Chain A
Amino acid sequence: MPPGADGAEPAGAAALVGRVAAPGDEVLLLPPGGRVAIGSSGLRPSGGAIVATKSGVVRRTRGGQLWIEGRQKRYIPAEGDCVVGVVVDRMSEHFTVDIAGPFKAVLPMLSFENATKRNRPAIYEGDAVFARVAQAHPDMDPVLTCVDGQGRASNYGHLKGGHTFECSCAWARALLEQPPPAVVAALGAEVPFEMAVGLNGRVWIDAPSAALAVRAAGALRAAEEELGPGGDAGAFVKRALAGGGAGG
């Protein structure tokens, strides 16, 4: 639909940052000079304008890149994303990891801190790993790594124990925001816990006991849909934890 046709968008060249767009909507008319940076997600240049290809909210990174934040369920890997994956196969040189994307990811055995050909990580099928997407080329399977640029583990690696649950990619992104959502602080006041949030919509959580971890996971997952606008996060968490206890 052309801009301004329904009166919702400004007919001028103003960007729609922070507004909702549907596929085919013109987000920004290209200025005659200068540069416009678009991120990897949801926008494409078409004719004299930048057009949305997904429905979602137009966002702008600090670097000035425009992108569209939708609430899709399926994860599409992008370079630099932190993900929680489950090892499905252990090969001689690499692990095959399910990251809930269109393809299985590859995690080389040597992409761990202090790993050598002799000293392989003790990770097996069914284990959860926290990793960073090192390569996300559309023509190849995504490649993960469990080390940072200096070769240090820096929180990546095998997630031992705990409980993993799935949520929407958007909720995972919200959990990673600074400051984190109120429900995280409220949960921390009730239960001491450790959490690894993957942008692929998987969250790993560990607490002093398995039962507590499961209940904490339930509370976090339920908060996405059930914690209403301006809701009392503290009361919500208490209720969710108690409810889990009564059921078990």
Chain B
Amino acid sequence: MGRREYVSDGLRLDGRRPKELRNMRAQIGVLQSADGSAMFQMGNTQVLASVFGPREVEQRSQLQHDRAIVKCEYAMAAFSTGERRRRGKTDRRSTELSLVIRNTLEQTIQLEEYARSQIDVYVQVLQADGGTRCACINAAMLALADAGIKLRDVIASCAAGYLQGTPLLDLNHEEDRAGGPDISVAYQPGLGKIVALQMDGRLPTEAFDECVQLAIEGCKAMAGVMRKELLRHTRALMAAGEDAGGGGGGGGGAALR
């Protein structure tokens, strides 16, 4: 197989610049039955997250007296990739990703506020085009916020890679497959903390620093988008409630589902 050019004339395969994110779209409160739900899209990657809880723990032996337990289930739809494949929820990749998402969320939920209870997070990948673990963390975070679970800060997650001597932000599937190093970062912008960092592949220290910095900048931009959507959603809901309440003031034209 011949060498592909991943960056030519400062543009990547999908026409982005090296430090450009894909188009993002977030929708909150998409499911009726869940306590909180969100859909998150990054380019062609699309993830649906739903949150149930806090509720009573299912298995008595797992009950924690001083904090809540978080359970996370990651699943990929059979139609999510180019090649149709049925995947179990228990294969190694899913198990690992569930763990990563759970650990990340545990850092931001105020677990001690919900002692003895359990919070369930279900993430379903509908379309996979690289960066699914980051999209999953973002979707789960929005769903948690929708459920009204107390959070220390918002969490945003973003990946960066390094191909042909260029740090690239938010790799898509094609770039992911090139086999270069890939760094996923989850970041709390308000507290300025890195919550999760994963890298596969090797990288010189200087390039590593550069990539992490790039990923953090990506996280900040993403957090901005997510926060804006959260505020918009909350405002629409509050307006709807107040209007139905008969106050009738404002008349801001709340568009409802």
Contact = CB atoms under 8 A, between A and B. Distances in A.
Contact of A23 (B54, B117, B145, B238): B145
Interface in B53-106: 53-56, 65
A79 to B, nearest CB: 15
A171 interface: yes
B243 A228 contact: yes
A246 to B, nearest CB: 23
Nearest to A170: B241
B150 A53 contact: yes
A174 B54 contact: no
Interface in A89-141: 102-104, 138-139
B253 interface: yes
By size class, the interface of chain A is 35 or more
A223 interface: yes
B150 A225 contact: no
Interface hub of B114, B238, B239 (most chain A Cβ within 10 A): B238
Nearest to A184: B246
B153 A72 contact: no
A22 B154 contact: yes
Nearest to A173: B241
B145 A22 contact: yes
A170 B223 CA distance: 27
B218 interface: no
A229 B254 contact: yes
B11 to A, nearest CB: 29
Contacts of B146: 55, 72
A22 B114 contact: no
Given A6-B224, A73-B35, A181-B246, A55 B251 contact: no
Nearest to B151: A23
B114 A24 contact: no
A229 B253 contact: yes
A170 B248 CA distance: 17
A22 B245 CA distance: 24
B56 A55 contact: no
Contacts of B152: 23-24, 44, 46, 51, 53
Interface hub of A53, A54, A229 (most chain B Cβ within 10 A): A229
A174 B237 CA distance: 13
Interface in B217-257: 223-224, 227, 230-231, 233-235, 237-246, 248-254, 256-257
A103 B148 contact: no
Interface in B142-173: 145-154
A24 B53 contact: no
Interface residues of B, number: 54
A183 interface: yes
Given A72-B147, A74-B148, A182-B248, A138 B190 contact: no
Contact of B148 (A26, A54, A228): A54
B205 to A, nearest CB: 30
Contacts of B194: none
Given A2-B190, A56-B234, A72-B35, A24 B151 contact: yes
B56 to A, nearest CB: 6
A182 B246 contact: yes
B44 interface: no
A224 interface: yes
Contacts of B235: 20
Interface in A120-174: 138-139, 170-171, 174
A231 interface: yes
A71 interface: yes
Contacts of B245: 174, 177, 181-182
B29 to A, nearest CB: 9
A29 interface: no
B49 to A, nearest CB: 15
A42 interface: yes
B191 interface: yes
Contact of A57 (B238, B251, B253): B238
A220 B234 CA distance: 22
A171 B231 CA distance: 19
A56 B248 CA distance: 20
B116 interface: yes
13 contacts: A1-B223, A20-B234, A22-B231, A23-B230, A24-B153, A24-B188, A42-B150, A55-B230, A73-B148, A225-B240, A227-B243, A229-B243, A229-B251
For the complex of A and B, the 8 pairs showing the least CB-CB separation, nearest first, are A72-B148, A182-B246, A24-B153, A230-B248, A24-B190, A229-B243, A23-B151, A53-B150
